[in-house]
Structure formats: C-alpha cells, structure tokens
Amino acid sequence: MTPEFVIEFAKEAIIMTLMISMPMLMLGLIVGLAVSIFQAVTSIQEMTLSFVPKIIAVFMGLLFFAPWMLEILTSYTRRIIENIPMYIR
C-alpha cells in the first residue's frame, strides 16, 4: 500500500462518516438554536427544555433518515469488501 492510497482511503472514510452523521447533527443544531431563541425570549432557563427537544428531534430524524444512512453505509462496506484483493497487492 502506498501512502497516497492510505490517505485516500482515510479521506473517503471521513467523508462517509460526515455524510452519515450530518443530518442528525443539523437537526440537533436547528432545534437547539430554536430552543435557545425561545428561552432567551421568554426568560425560561430550564435545563431539560434544552435537551429533551433535541433528543426527540434527533430520534425522529434517525427514524426518517435510517434507510438512507443504512443504504449508504452498506454500499460503502460492500465496495470495501469487494476490493480487498486490490488492497492486498
């Protein structure tokens, strides 16, 4: 294995990780921002108010995005397993 191959392989893995995690992170960010604005406007500083909506949004997003995430991950894994003979050379 050449250093270029290892770097490209790691880059592809990092991009795959970001692509799979980005929908959940964005949902958490959007809901967290909305809750923070709501707390600032109403002067309610309840700690559970900031966590519970984010958790619910991420779980709902996970239910919605799970088929897409699973398809992306399985195709990536399948491609890696199929190319193992090429990696050994």
Q: How far is CA 71 from the centre of its chain?
A: 14
* Euclidean distance between CA atoms 77 and 80, whole angstroms: 5
Q: Are 49 and 35 in contact (CB under 8 A)?
A: yes
Q: Quick one: tokens of 59?
A: 């779980």
**Tell me: the pLDDT tens digits for 1-28?**
788 888 998 999 999 999 999 999 999 9
pLDDT digits 0-9 by tens, 25-68: 999 999 999 999 998 898 888 888 888 999 999 999 999 999 99
